[in-house]
Structure formats: C-alpha cells, structure tokens
C-alpha cells in the first residue's frame, strides 16, 4: 500500500479530485495549506503608497490518500494530467510524494490491510 500526498494549486482541486475518482481512488481528504518551494512566493503591492511586500509562502492544497500498489501509475497520471498548467506546466503546479504504508486498520470493523481500504 502507498500513501499519496499531492500538493497542488487550490484552483485545480476540483479537477484533481475528479481525476482521482475516475482513476478508481475511493477515499481521500484534502486541506488548504501554505508553504514555499521553488516558486518562492510573490511580491504584493499594499496600501495607498504602493509599498511592495514579499509573501514567501503560497497557498496550496494538500490531497492525501492511501492506495494499493497496483494503482500507483494510474493515480500519478491522474494527478499530473489534472494539476499541470496549460502547455508544459509551470513552477508552482505542485509535487506528489509517495510513501510505503505497512498497515491500515478500519476502526469500525477491525479489518486490516487491503480490506480496510
């Protein structure tokens, strides 16, 4: 089993969620986060004097799910194709992190492993 953590642009969440569902991903959660990567934030003009301020962190959305190993490539393709900006993509489109999960337990029934997904 694999834990998938995808960081995407907030405006792309609906497309990514739809793509995950189409890929057979049955459960996931997402939350708004703020962070910094290569994009390095933006400059914002504020106030009447037009003072320039830098925001180092950018708003993003973190989508988390646990999948079976055989779904890995389909889920990666679903996220990449739905989260990437037009053309060749752009800095800030996001990242996908995958990590091994040793076990899952469904609290309601006590089912473990694949059965708990």
Integer angstrom CA distances of residue 95 from 6, 13, 23, 77: 6, 13, 18, 12
Range of the domain at 96: 2-116
The C-alpha angle 65, 56, 97, rounded to 5 degrees, equals 20
- For the entire predicted model, the pTM comes to 0.82
Tell me the per-residue pLDDT of 80-91, one tens digit each, with 9 for 90 and over.
999 999 988 988
Name, in order, each residue with C-beta under 8 angstroms of 95's C-beta and a sequence gap of 6 or more: 6, 7, 37
How many structural domains comprise the chain? Answer: 1
Looking at residue 91, which CATH number applies to its domain? 3.30.70.120
- Report the pLDDT value the prediction gives residue 81, as an integer from 0 to 100: 97
**Average model confidence (pLDDT) across the chain:** 89
Tell me the per-residue pLDDT of 31-78, one tens digit each, with 9 for 90 and over.
999 887 776 665 566 666 666 666 667 889 999 999 999 999 999 999
């Amino acid at each position: 089993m694999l834990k998938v953590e995808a960081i995407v642009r907030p405006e792309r969440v609906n497309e990514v969620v739809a793509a995950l569902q189409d890929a057979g991903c049955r459960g996931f959660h997402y939350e708004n986060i703020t962070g910094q990567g290569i994009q390095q934030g933006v400059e914002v003009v504020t106030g009447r004097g037009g003072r320039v301020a830098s925001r180092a962190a950018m708003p993003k959305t973190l989508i988390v799910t646990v999948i079976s190993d055989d779904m890995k490539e389909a889920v990666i393709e679903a996220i990449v194709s739905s989260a990437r900006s037009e053309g060749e993509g752009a800095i800030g489109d996001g990242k996908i992190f995958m990590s091994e999960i040793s076990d899952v337990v469904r609290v309601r029934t006590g089912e473990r492993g694949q059965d708990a997904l």
